[in-house]
A and B are shown apart, each in its own frame.
Chain A
Protein backbone atom coordinates (compact mmCIF):
# COMPACT_ATOMS: atom_id res chain seq x y z
CA UNK A 1 0.00 0.00 0.00
CA UNK A 2 1.43 3.30 -1.06
CA UNK A 3 0.57 6.27 1.12
CA UNK A 4 1.41 9.91 0.88
CA UNK A 5 1.45 12.28 3.84
CA UNK A 6 1.91 16.01 3.72
CA UNK A 7 2.63 18.32 6.64
CA UNK A 8 4.32 21.74 6.69
CA UNK A 9 8.14 21.62 6.74
CA UNK A 10 8.29 23.75 9.89
CA UNK A 11 5.57 24.88 12.28
CA UNK A 12 5.60 27.42 15.11
CA UNK A 13 4.90 26.41 18.71
CA UNK A 14 1.13 26.00 19.26
CA UNK A 15 0.45 26.56 15.56
CA UNK A 16 -2.55 24.68 14.21
CA UNK A 17 -1.37 23.01 11.02
CA UNK A 18 -3.07 20.89 8.37
CA UNK A 19 -2.22 17.21 7.92
CA UNK A 20 -3.13 15.46 4.66
CA UNK A 21 -2.95 11.74 3.97
CA UNK A 22 -3.84 9.70 0.89
CA UNK A 23 -3.61 5.90 0.80
CA UNK A 24 -3.78 3.68 -2.27
CA UNK A 25 -6.62 1.27 -1.53
CA UNK A 26 -9.62 0.03 -3.55
CA UNK A 27 -12.07 0.44 -0.64
CA UNK A 28 -14.05 -2.50 -2.01
CA UNK A 29 -17.67 -2.07 -0.99
CA UNK A 30 -18.71 -5.71 -0.80
CA UNK A 31 -21.66 -4.97 -3.09
CA UNK A 32 -19.91 -5.62 -6.38
CA UNK A 33 -19.84 -8.84 -8.35
CA UNK A 34 -17.19 -10.19 -10.67
CA UNK A 35 -18.05 -10.62 -14.34
CA UNK A 36 -18.92 -14.22 -13.55
CA UNK A 37 -21.30 -13.19 -10.80
CA UNK A 38 -19.28 -13.96 -7.70
CA UNK A 39 -19.50 -11.39 -4.94
CA UNK A 40 -16.30 -9.45 -4.28
CA UNK A 41 -15.84 -9.39 -0.50
CA UNK A 42 -15.85 -6.07 1.25
CA UNK A 43 -12.37 -4.77 1.97
CA UNK A 44 -11.99 -1.24 3.24
CA UNK A 45 -9.44 0.46 5.44
CA UNK A 46 -11.69 0.62 8.50
CA UNK A 47 -9.42 2.39 10.97
CA UNK A 48 -6.78 5.08 10.73
CA UNK A 49 -5.05 6.35 13.89
CA UNK A 50 -2.54 9.17 14.14
CA UNK A 51 -0.17 9.69 17.10
CA UNK A 52 1.94 12.74 17.81
CA UNK A 53 3.45 14.31 20.95
CA UNK A 54 2.75 11.26 23.06
CA UNK A 55 -0.95 10.95 22.34
CA UNK A 56 -3.48 10.00 19.71
CA UNK A 57 -4.38 13.20 17.85
CA UNK A 58 -6.77 11.81 15.26
CA UNK A 59 -8.74 8.64 14.66
CA UNK A 60 -11.04 7.80 11.78
CA UNK A 61 -13.47 4.91 11.41
CA UNK A 62 -14.08 4.52 7.70
CA UNK A 63 -16.81 2.66 5.87
CA UNK A 64 -17.42 1.66 2.27
CA UNK A 65 -18.91 5.14 1.74
CA UNK A 66 -15.43 6.61 1.71
CA UNK A 67 -14.09 7.01 -1.84
CA UNK A 68 -11.42 4.65 -3.20
CA UNK A 69 -7.86 5.70 -2.39
CA UNK A 70 -9.05 7.42 0.75
CA UNK A 71 -8.03 11.00 1.40
CA UNK A 72 -8.24 12.73 4.76
CA UNK A 73 -7.31 16.23 5.81
CA UNK A 74 -7.43 17.43 9.41
CA UNK A 75 -5.78 19.98 11.73
CA UNK A 76 -3.38 19.28 14.59
CA UNK A 77 -1.89 21.71 17.08
CA UNK A 78 1.92 21.77 17.30
CA UNK A 79 3.43 20.81 20.65
CA UNK A 80 7.05 19.76 20.11
CA UNK A 81 9.32 18.44 17.39
CA UNK A 82 8.95 14.73 16.94
CA UNK A 83 7.46 11.99 14.82
CA UNK A 84 3.84 11.83 13.71
CA UNK A 85 2.87 8.21 13.18
CA UNK A 86 -0.02 7.07 10.98
CA UNK A 87 -1.29 3.51 11.26
CA UNK A 88 -4.18 1.88 9.46
CA UNK A 89 -5.70 -1.54 8.90
CA UNK A 90 -8.14 -2.98 6.38
CA UNK A 91 -10.76 -5.75 6.52
CA UNK A 92 -8.21 -8.27 5.22
CA UNK A 93 -6.03 -7.46 8.22
CA UNK A 94 -3.39 -5.77 6.11
CA UNK A 95 -1.72 -3.02 8.11
CA UNK A 96 0.07 0.03 6.83
CA UNK A 97 1.99 2.78 8.49
CA UNK A 98 3.81 5.97 7.68
CA UNK A 99 5.88 8.30 9.83
CA UNK A 100 6.70 11.95 9.20
CA UNK A 101 8.81 14.35 11.22
CA UNK A 102 7.14 17.41 12.72
CA UNK A 103 9.60 20.23 13.22
CA UNK A 104 8.57 22.95 15.66
CA UNK A 105 10.70 26.08 15.62
CA UNK A 106 10.49 29.81 16.34
Chain B
Protein backbone atom coordinates (compact mmCIF):
# COMPACT_ATOMS: atom_id res chain seq x y z
CA UNK B 1 0.00 0.00 0.00
CA UNK B 2 1.39 3.16 -0.68
CA UNK B 3 2.13 6.09 1.02
CA UNK B 4 -1.21 7.36 1.93
CA UNK B 5 -2.30 4.38 3.86
CA UNK B 6 1.06 3.81 5.52
CA UNK B 7 1.36 7.46 6.37
CA UNK B 8 -2.17 7.62 7.59
CA UNK B 9 -1.59 4.66 9.83
CA UNK B 10 1.51 6.28 11.22
CA UNK B 11 -0.25 9.57 11.64
CA UNK B 12 -3.12 7.80 13.24
CA UNK B 13 -0.90 6.05 15.73
CA UNK B 14 0.81 9.32 16.50
CA UNK B 15 -2.50 11.08 16.91
CA UNK B 16 -3.97 8.38 19.04
CA UNK B 17 -1.02 8.05 21.39
CA UNK B 18 -2.33 10.76 23.66
CA UNK B 19 -6.01 9.99 23.40
CA UNK B 20 -7.79 8.13 26.18
CA UNK B 21 -9.28 4.93 24.86
CA UNK B 22 -12.76 5.91 25.89
CA UNK B 23 -12.67 8.71 23.35
CA UNK B 24 -12.54 6.11 20.62
CA UNK B 25 -16.03 4.89 21.36
CA UNK B 26 -18.42 5.89 18.60
CA UNK B 27 -20.77 8.81 18.86
CA UNK B 28 -24.12 8.03 20.42
CA UNK B 29 -26.58 6.70 17.93
CA UNK B 30 -23.99 5.38 15.51
CA UNK B 31 -22.99 1.75 15.39
CA UNK B 32 -24.16 0.98 18.91
CA UNK B 33 -22.19 -2.27 19.06
CA UNK B 34 -18.76 -0.79 18.37
CA UNK B 35 -17.87 0.05 21.95
CA UNK B 36 -14.68 -1.74 22.90
CA UNK B 37 -11.30 -0.11 22.65
CA UNK B 38 -8.72 -0.93 20.05
CA UNK B 39 -6.76 -4.10 20.44
CA UNK B 40 -8.96 -5.58 23.10
CA UNK B 41 -9.72 -8.46 20.78
CA UNK B 42 -12.67 -10.75 20.44
CA UNK B 43 -12.62 -11.72 24.11
CA UNK B 44 -14.23 -8.41 24.96
CA UNK B 45 -15.64 -7.50 21.56
CA UNK B 46 -17.82 -10.56 21.06
CA UNK B 47 -19.80 -10.21 24.31
CA UNK B 48 -20.58 -6.63 23.27
CA UNK B 49 -22.06 -7.89 20.02
CA UNK B 50 -24.00 -10.83 21.45
CA UNK B 51 -24.95 -9.48 24.86
CA UNK B 52 -22.81 -12.17 26.43
CA UNK B 53 -24.68 -15.06 24.85
CA UNK B 54 -22.76 -18.04 23.46
CA UNK B 55 -21.61 -18.09 19.85
CA UNK B 56 -21.29 -21.35 17.94
CA UNK B 57 -18.79 -21.62 15.10
CA UNK B 58 -21.33 -23.21 12.75
CA UNK B 59 -23.64 -22.39 9.86
CA UNK B 60 -21.74 -19.26 8.80
CA UNK B 61 -19.44 -19.28 5.76
CA UNK B 62 -16.98 -16.43 5.38
CA UNK B 63 -15.16 -15.86 2.08
CA UNK B 64 -12.31 -13.36 2.23
CA UNK B 65 -8.86 -13.42 0.59
CA UNK B 66 -6.08 -14.88 2.74
CA UNK B 67 -3.79 -12.27 1.26
CA UNK B 68 -5.30 -8.82 0.68
CA UNK B 69 -3.70 -6.80 -2.13
CA UNK B 70 -4.61 -3.68 -0.22
CA UNK B 71 -6.19 -3.26 3.20
CA UNK B 72 -8.32 -0.36 1.98
CA UNK B 73 -10.64 -2.57 -0.06
CA UNK B 74 -10.94 -6.22 0.87
CA UNK B 75 -13.81 -8.15 -0.72
CA UNK B 76 -15.82 -10.24 1.69
CA UNK B 77 -18.82 -12.52 1.29
CA UNK B 78 -20.86 -14.14 4.06
CA UNK B 79 -23.42 -16.91 3.67
CA UNK B 80 -25.45 -18.46 6.48
CA UNK B 81 -27.21 -21.83 6.28
CA UNK B 82 -30.85 -21.04 6.98
CA UNK B 83 -34.27 -21.88 5.51
CA UNK B 84 -35.12 -18.15 5.79
CA UNK B 85 -38.72 -18.98 6.68
CA UNK B 86 -40.83 -16.79 8.92
CA UNK B 87 -40.23 -19.24 11.78
CA UNK B 88 -36.52 -19.79 11.20
CA UNK B 89 -34.38 -17.13 9.59
CA UNK B 90 -31.27 -15.03 9.98
CA UNK B 91 -32.02 -11.68 11.56
CA UNK B 92 -28.64 -10.02 11.21
CA UNK B 93 -25.06 -10.47 10.08
CA UNK B 94 -22.27 -8.46 11.71
CA UNK B 95 -18.72 -8.23 10.36
CA UNK B 96 -15.92 -7.69 12.85
CA UNK B 97 -12.20 -6.91 12.62
CA UNK B 98 -10.81 -6.97 16.15
CA UNK B 99 -7.74 -4.79 15.49
CA UNK B 100 -9.44 -2.08 13.46
CA UNK B 101 -9.84 1.26 15.27
CA UNK B 102 -13.57 0.65 15.01
CA UNK B 103 -13.90 -3.13 15.09
CA UNK B 104 -17.54 -3.35 14.00
CA UNK B 105 -17.30 -2.98 10.24
CA UNK B 106 -20.98 -3.24 9.46
CA UNK B 107 -24.21 -4.87 10.52
CA UNK B 108 -26.99 -5.82 8.14
CA UNK B 109 -30.56 -6.79 8.95
CA UNK B 110 -32.22 -9.57 6.96
CA UNK B 111 -35.48 -11.48 7.19
CA UNK B 112 -37.65 -14.08 5.49
CA UNK B 113 -38.14 -11.62 2.59
CA UNK B 114 -34.41 -12.01 1.87
CA UNK B 115 -34.92 -15.54 0.58
CA UNK B 116 -31.28 -16.37 1.30
CA UNK B 117 -28.94 -15.28 4.05
CA UNK B 118 -26.08 -13.75 2.12
CA UNK B 119 -24.08 -10.54 1.98
CA UNK B 120 -21.14 -9.28 -0.05
CA UNK B 121 -19.27 -6.02 0.49
CA UNK B 122 -15.77 -4.54 0.66
CA UNK B 123 -14.11 -3.61 3.93
CA UNK B 124 -11.03 -1.84 5.28
CA UNK B 125 -8.56 -3.76 7.39
CA UNK B 126 -6.05 -1.62 9.29
CA UNK B 127 -3.64 -4.51 9.83
CA UNK B 128 -3.36 -8.25 9.27
CA UNK B 129 -5.87 -9.89 11.56
CA UNK B 130 -8.65 -12.40 12.07
CA UNK B 131 -11.97 -11.29 10.60
CA UNK B 132 -15.18 -12.64 12.09
CA UNK B 133 -18.76 -12.84 10.82
CA UNK B 134 -21.48 -13.23 13.44
CA UNK B 135 -25.07 -14.09 12.53
CA UNK B 136 -28.09 -13.98 14.78
CA UNK B 137 -31.02 -16.26 13.95
CA UNK B 138 -34.68 -15.61 14.72
CA UNK B 139 -34.48 -17.84 17.80
CA UNK B 140 -31.98 -15.39 19.26
CA UNK B 141 -28.95 -17.67 18.92
CA UNK B 142 -25.59 -16.56 17.54
CA UNK B 143 -23.41 -18.30 14.94
CA UNK B 144 -20.01 -17.39 13.56
CA UNK B 145 -17.13 -18.00 11.20
CA UNK B 146 -13.68 -16.49 11.13
CA UNK B 147 -10.74 -16.15 8.76
CA UNK B 148 -7.21 -14.82 8.95
CA UNK B 149 -6.26 -12.11 6.47
CA UNK B 150 -2.74 -10.98 5.74
CA UNK B 151 -2.68 -7.34 4.68
CA UNK B 152 0.34 -6.37 2.60
CA UNK B 153 1.93 -2.95 2.31
CA UNK B 154 2.69 -1.21 -0.93
CA UNK B 155 6.30 -1.17 -2.08
CA UNK B 156 6.26 2.50 -3.01
CA UNK B 157 5.41 5.61 -1.06
CA UNK B 158 2.57 7.63 -2.57
CA UNK B 159 2.24 11.25 -1.51
CA UNK B 160 0.28 12.30 -4.56
A interface residues (Cβ-Cβ under 8 A, vs B): 16, 29, 31-33, 39, 46, 52-53, 55-68, 70-77, 79, 91
- A46–B107 Cα gap in the complex (Å)? 10
Chain A interface mostly:
strand
Count class of interface residues, chain B: 35 or more
Question: What A residues does B118 contact at CB under 8 A?
Answer: 74-75
- A72–B31 Cα gap in the complex (Å)? 17
Say how far A77's CB is from chain B's closest CB, in angstroms: 3
Can you name 8 A-B pairs with beta carbons within 8 Å?
A: A29-B124, A31-B101, A46-B31, A57-B111, A66-B121, A74-B114, A75-B116, A77-B114
Question: What B residues does A77 contact at CB under 8 A?
Answer: 112-115
Contact A68 B97 (CB under 8 A): no
Say how far B74's CB is from chain A's closest CB, in angstroms: 7
**A31-B12, A61-B31, A61-B107 known; A66 and B115 CB under 8 Å?**
no
Contact B108 A74 (CB under 8 A): yes
**A66-B122, A68-B73 known; A76 and B113 CB under 8 Å?**
yes
